[in-house]
Amino acid sequence: MTPVKLYPPKPEKVYFFGTCLIDLFYPEAGLDGIRLLEREGIEVLFPEDQTCCGQPAYTSGYQHEARAVAAAQLDLFPEPWPIVVPSGSCGGMMRTHYPQLFAGTGEEAQASEVAGRVFELTEFLVHVCHLRLDDRGAPEKVAMHTSCSARREMGLAETGPALLAQLGEVELVEQARPAECCGFGGTFAVRHPEVSAAMVEDKTQAIEAAGAERFVTSDCGCLMNIGGRFAHQQKAVTGEHIASYLWRRSS
């Protein structure tokens, strides 16, 4: 369990780390995250040289490569503003694993300092921005899939649902075994494709059985996995990153 975190007052500016999956596959979700923050009166700094947090190499055991990639991100946040990440997975990598990855190296202090400023987007919207949402969308049944890293590594099982609960026309339905992994796991999905496929099949069935018309998640890995399974099965259920969903319904 993540220790109790003391949240800062709403800052004037934040850094936004968009993550590589969003950059390549879901850029709109990143932009919607930025829009949500800007609407709260926060200036969003987007370091142009950001690429990837290094997690794919890290979880594959290629720690030297991961460290080199992570080191290149450490210098992108020179001022003491919070760093907002629209992913529990990348956020968890930066907050939890950067200090481990750089332990005993010259960048140890810098890595710990950066890690201490990392917030997952929904966490930041709830605990720092105290976001209030006005729902302008149509009635809809929605399931939330909180990623394992958001839920367990960052201790953020509640922030996504708390935001969705503010949308008056949205009925949040709970799927069976909500805390169970969807089977993505980064390279796990390609190293153990059959096990991963069995897991995502169960996840899509659970979401469908709950009566959801849509699922939202704060992690693009899960979105790609669960959404890709629904699409492959030609199901009507669609997925969306929570940033896009919140922005779309409240703007």
Partner 1 sequence: MSVPTPGVQTYTPREFHRQAHDALGNPQIRANFRSAMDGLMAKRRDVFGDWDLEALRELGANIRLRALAKLPDLLEQLETNCQANGIRVHWAEDGEQACRIIRELCEAREAKAVIKGKSMVTEEMHLNAHLEAAGIEALESDLGEYLVQLNEQTPSHIIMPAIHLNTDEIAGIMHDKTGIERTRDVDTMTAAARSQLRERFMSADVGISGVNFAVAETGTLCLVENEGNGRMTTTVPPVHIAVTGIEKVVEQLRDVPPLYALLSRSATGQHVTTYFNMISAPRQSDEHDGPEEVHLVLVDNGRSNIYQDDELLDTLRCIRCGACMNHCPVYTRVGGHTYGTTYPGPIGSILMPHLMGLEETKDLPTASSLCGACGEVCPVKIPIPDLLVRLRQESVGEGRGNVPGAGAKRTRKEAAAWKGFQWLATHPAAWRGGTAVAGKLRALAPSRLGVWTDHRSAPKPAGTTLHALVKRHRAGKDADQDTGNTTGNTKGDNGS
Which residues inside 124-143 make contact with partner 1, applying CB under 8 A? none
Q: Does 146 interact with partner 1 (rule: CB under 8 A)?
A: no
User: Which of residues 6, 12, 41, 194 is near partner 1 by CB under 8 A?
Assistant: 194
- Which is nearest to 93 in space by CA: 66, 123, 128, 124? 66
Q: What is d(CA 159, CA 243) in angstroms, rounded to the nearest whole number?
A: 12
* Complex with partner 1: residue 120 or 153, whichever CB lies closer: 153
Tell me how many residues contact partner 1 (CB under 8 A): 79
> Among candidates 57, 50, 45, which has minimal Cα distance to 19?
50
Place of tokens 């992690």: 219
| Pick 9 or 143: Cβ nearer partner 1 | 143
Stated as kind and residue range, the H or E segment containing 45 is strand 43-45
Q: Is 68 helix (H, G, I), strand (E, B) or coil?
A: helix
Q: Is residue 200 within the footprint of partner 1 (CB under 8 A)?
A: yes
Told to check if 189 binds partner 1 by CB under 8 A, we report yes
Should residue 93 be labelled a site residue for partner 1 when binding is judged by CB under 8 A? no
Q: Which of 7, 8, 10, 28 binds partner 1 (CB under 8 A)?
A: 28
Does 94 participate in binding partner 1 (rule CB under 8 A)? no
Alpha helices in the chain (DSSP H): 20-24, 27-39, 55-59, 63-74, 88-92, 98-101, 108-115, 121-123, 148, 159-164, 188-191, 193-209, 220-232, 242-250
Other Cβ atoms closer than 10 A to 162: 16
Residue 197 is a binding residue for partner 1 (CB under 8 A):
yes
List the one residue from 15, 98, 119, 184 that touches partner 1 (CB under 8 A). Answer: 184
Q: Which is nearer to partner 1, 7 or 25 (CB)?
A: 25
Task: State yes or no: residue 6 binds partner 1 (CB under 8 A).
Answer: no
Helices 108-115 and 63-74 cross at an angle (nearest 10°) of: 70
DSSP assigned state of 84: E
Kindly state whether residue 144 participates in binding partner 1, applying the rule CB under 8 A.
no
Among 56, 82, 91, 160, binds partner 1 (CB under 8 A): 56
Check residue 31 for interaction with partner 1 (CB under 8 A). Answer: yes
Quote the least distance from Cβ 193 to partner 1, whole Å: 4
| 90 binds partner 1 per the rule CB under 8 A | no
Residue 165 Cβ vs partner 1, minimum distance, rounded to whole Å: 21
What residues contact residue 109 under an 8 Å CB cut-off, 6+ apart? none
190 binds partner 1 (CB under 8 A): yes
Smaller CB separation from partner 1, 130 or 179: 179
